[in-house]
Amino acid sequence: MELDEIKRSMLNLLPNATLQLCCYTVVLIVSLMWLMRGIARVLRDSHWESTAKIPPGSRGLPLIGETLHFMAATSSSKGFYDFVHIRQLRYGNCFRTSIFGQTHVFVSSTESAKVVLNNEVGKFTKRYIKSIAELVGNESLLCASHQHHKLIRGRLINLFSTASISSFIKQFDQLIVTTLSGWEHKPTVVVLHEALELICKAMCKMLMSLESGDEVEMLQKDVAHVCEAMIAFPLRLPCTRFYKGLEARKRVMKMLEKKIEERRRGEAYHEDFLQHLLKDNGSACCDEVPPLTDAEIQDNILTMIIAGQDTTASAITWMVKYLDENQQVLHTLRAEQGRIAEKTSHTSSLTLDDLNEMPYASKVVKESLRMASIVAWLPRVALQDCEVQGFKIKKGWNINIDARSIHLDPTLYNNPTMFIPSRFDGEPKPNSFLAFGTGGRTCLGMNMAKAMMLVFLHRLITTYNWTVVNPDSSIEKWALFSRLKSGCPIHVSPIAKDAADA
């Protein structure tokens, strides 16, 4: 009625009948177009709903969806994966939800992992939400568009050559030997804390030869703030986790800027990742991959610390816990590592060749990564409407490969909740082991992470006996990667030299 009155009063103002007719025609055409658009939308949606299955699930409340449930899981001792686990039990291995205003689909089958992660037909990309991009930086390879990602990865991958991993192993081994020598004087050793510190030191040295205790400690704290902010509500108010993360990022960027300037002025030269990236940057285009800009170098050094530190430290912590709970496995491992220790007793540190002679330890590493699923799901975005696992996925929806469910699927792994390293005697089924992802986004630091875990294992096993003091399996709140809330406190006692040699 009101609309009619407005139209009428407007038309009364018009000077003549022709104008009135034109106006009616325009109003009619616009109204018709509006109506047709509406009908088309309803038809499209009803077609979508009826002929193709969209994944089951709940969209939750208007606008906020199920964000509050997700946040509640994140801040609970079950960890944020519990949010996924509950829905997976309720709806099956493909379901839909809405978090932070976006639709998310979670799928957990090896076929979907193959299709989505290998992305052979270019239907998916990896894209983090804007707030995460603000924290890791727009130039980070985690946030870069498909083409940009290829360029950055092409540069960074050179840093992870066999030669650089070999030299890293030597440094890491020396660092571990020094660290472990202090453990016997501690009443309790919290493995997670020690591993975080150790890996942060090792990565800071490898990336930019940062060795000053204060600088490394500050960087470790700042990286922890950035990681926490990545799963926090993006509220830019002082005192919020998100704000603290942004401030921490600024400090890290400033420090990196300073390091780059020092190198440019020739005040410092080190054989490290930063120097390699700057060398590429200083030279004219040396091959088909263009050099990285300073902003790209800074964002990606931060990215590598975020991607490498927490993940590897958490994996080491879980591994120590699993071994404590599985004494038979520990016994077999001790025998293997004893033989390696004997062989290497005259050399100063472990080498890549030594690590290649640890088949059982490698399986222990793999089994720990399977059981712990440090990166619980692998996120992608659909670039077009498509079908995955028989369900319709709309363009723009987030599609997450639920690696944890795949790792615990009894049809893929017998007794999946049991720690059985020998299950990796043969190759796992294709796309069933996703601890480091697969396809074009496979973890860049995969071999480095495995090497760190093996070196740690060797030195721990051949130096100490240990018992876990607190067997609690609760997950730490607000952790980006699945880590033990207790940090896995242990009591250590040195292995008598003659017993180790026996």
Feature table: binding site: 443
Please choose, out of 66-74, 130-138, 276-284, 303-311, the segment that lies near ligand HEM by the rule CB under 6 A: 303-311
List the structure tokens of 243.
């704000």
Shortest Cβ distance from residue 185 to ligand HEM (Å)? 29
Q: Does 304 bind ligand HEM (CB under 6 A)?
A: yes
443: tokens are 């973890």
Q: Render 41-91 in DSSP notation, one character per residue.
A: HHHHHHHHHHHSPPPPB---BTTTBTHHHHHHHHTSTT-THHHHHHHHHHH
Residue type, 108: S
Q: Please report how close the Cβ of residue 301 comes to ligand HEM at its closest, in angstroms.
A: 10
Q: Identify which of residues 207 and 412 has a Cβ nearer to ligand HEM in the complex.
A: 207
Among 443, 454, 455, 475, binds ligand HEM (CB under 6 A): 443
CB 491 within 8 A of CB 469: yes
Give the span between the Cα atoms of 400 and 391, in whole angstroms.
14
What's the min distance (Å) between Cβ of 372 and ligand HEM?
8
Question: Distance (Å, rounded) from C-alpha 486 to C-alpha 321?
Answer: 11
CA–CA dist 467, 152 (Å, integer): 44
For ligand HEM, the closer of residues 311 and 326 by Cβ is 311
Q: How far, in Å, CA of 231 to CA of 399, rounded? A: 17
Q: How far is the CB of 122 from ligand HEM (least distance, A)?
A: 16
Secondary structure class of 94 (helix, strand, coil): strand
Residues facing 124 on adjacent strands: 382
CB 382 within 8 A of CB 399: yes
Q: How far is the CB of 99 from ligand HEM (least distance, A)?
A: 17
Number of residues that bind ligand HEM (CB under 6 A): 25
Q: Which residues contact 76 (CB under 8 A, 6 or more apart)?
A: 82, 477
Residue placing its CB nearer to ligand HEM in the complex, 190 or 369: 369
Task: Choose the stretch contacting ligand HEM; rule: CB under 6 A; options: 29-37, 338-346, 373-381, 456-464.
Answer: 373-381
Part of the chain binding ligand HEM (CB under 6 A), chosen from 93-101, 254-262, 415-423, 444-452: 444-452
Pairing of strands 386-388, 124-125: unpaired
Q: How far is the CB of 435 from ligand HEM (least distance, A)?
A: 5
Stretch that binds ligand HEM, among 177-185, 241-249, 350-358, 436-444 (CB under 6 A): 436-444
Residue 153 touching ligand HEM (CB under 6 A): yes
What φ, ψ does residue 98 adopt, rounded to 5°?
-135, 120
Write out the two tokens for 199: 């890996």
Which two three-digit tokens encode residue 389?
Answer: 């696992």
Parallel, antiparallel or unpaired: strands 398-402 and 102-107: parallel
Given 165, 208, 382, 449, the residue binding ligand HEM (CB under 6 A): 449
**Considering the rule CB under 6 A, would residue 378 count as an interface residue with ligand HEM?**
yes
* Range in contact with ligand HEM (rule: CB under 6 A) among 106-114, 127-135, 224-232, 443-451: 443-451
Q: Nearest approach, Cβ of 300 to ligand HEM (angstroms)?
A: 7
Residue that is written with structure tokens 């696992």 in the block: 389
431 binds ligand HEM, rule: CB under 6 A: no
Q: Which of 57, 445, 487, 489 binds ligand HEM (CB under 6 A)?
A: 445
In the bound complex, what is the minimum distance in angstroms from residue 479's beta carbon to ligand HEM?
Answer: 14
Name the segment binding ligand HEM (CB under 6 A); options: 75-83, 341-349, 412-420, 432-440: 432-440
By C-beta, is 107 or 495 nearer to ligand HEM?
107
What's the CA angle centered on 22, arms 21 and 26, to 5 degrees? 120
Question: Minimum Å distance from CB 443 to ligand HEM?
Answer: 3
When binding is defined by CB under 6 A, the residue of 263, 404, 441, 459 that contacts ligand HEM is: 441
Any contact of residue 137 with ligand HEM (CB under 6 A)?
A: no
Q: Where are the beta strands (DSSP E) in 407-497?
A: 464-468, 489-494
Among 10-18, 105-113, 329-337, 370-378, the segment contacting ligand HEM (CB under 6 A)? 370-378
Neighbours of 98 (CB within 10 A): 22
Rule CB under 6 A: say whether 307 interacts with ligand HEM. yes
Closest CA to 379 of 100, 152, 71, 158: 100
Check residue 436 for interaction with ligand HEM (CB under 6 A). yes
Minimum CB separation from ligand HEM for residue 332, in Å? Answer: 22
Comparing C-alpha atoms, which of 206, 224, 204, 225 is closest to residue 215? Answer: 204
Is 141 near ligand HEM (CB under 6 A)? Answer: yes
Q: Hey, what's the torsion of the CAs at 31, 37, 38, 44, to 10 degrees?
A: 170
Dist CA 297 CA 274 (whole Å) = 8
Return the residues of window 312-341 that contact ligand HEM according to CB under 6 A: 312, 315
Residue 114 in contact with ligand HEM, rule: CB under 6 A: no
Q: Residue 9 burial by CB count (10 A; 0-12/13-18/19+): exposed, middle or buried?
A: exposed
Residues making up the binding site for heme: 443
Name the minimum Å distance from CB 376 to ligand HEM.
Answer: 9
Footprint on this chain of ligand HEM (rule: CB under 6 A): 117, 126, 141-142, 153, 303-304, 307-308, 311-312, 315, 369, 374-375, 378, 435-437, 441, 443-445, 448-449
